[in-house]
Amino acid sequence: MRIAGGPSLTLRHGSALIGALLALGCSEEATGPRPVPVGIVVASAAEQVGTAGEPLDSMLTAFVYDKFGDPVPGVLVRFSVPAGNGSVTPVARTTGPDGHASAAWLLPTRTGSYQAHAAAAGFDSLTFGALARPGKAAALAVVTGDAQSGAAGTAVDSAVVVEVRDVHGNGVPGRTVLFSTREGSGRVVPARAESDSLGRVYAVWTLGKDGGVHGLTVRVDSLPPLRIRATAVQSSPLMPLAQTHTIWPDYSMVVPGALVRLDGDRVVETAPRRALECWRNALGEVALEGGGCGVVGGD
- CA 36 to CA 72: how far, in whole Å? 7
- Sheet with 192-194, strands from edge to edge, namely 148-151, 226-233, 212-219, 176-181, 192-194
pLDDT of residue 293: 52
Low-confidence ranges of the chain (pLDDT < 70): 1-32, 236-299
- CA 75 to CA 104: how far, in whole Å? 18
Neighbours of 58 (CB within 10 A): 15
pTM of the model: 0.66
pLDDT of residue 61: 98
DSSP string, 40-72: EEE-S-SEEEEETTSB-SSPEEEEEE-TTS-B-
pLDDT of residue 237: 56
Dump pLDDT digits (tens) for 61-77: 999 999 999 999 999 99
Is residue 255 helix, strand or coil?
strand
Neighbours of 131 (CB within 10 A): 14
DSSP state, 281? H
pLDDT of residue 15: 46
pLDDT of residue 287: 60
pLDDT of residue 223: 96
pLDDT of residue 275: 52
Please report the sign of the dihedral spanned by the C-alpha atoms of residue 280, residue 250, residue 297, residue 239.
positive
- CA 75 to CA 63: how far, in whole Å? 10
Dump pLDDT digits (tens) for 192-212: 999 999 999 999 999 999 999
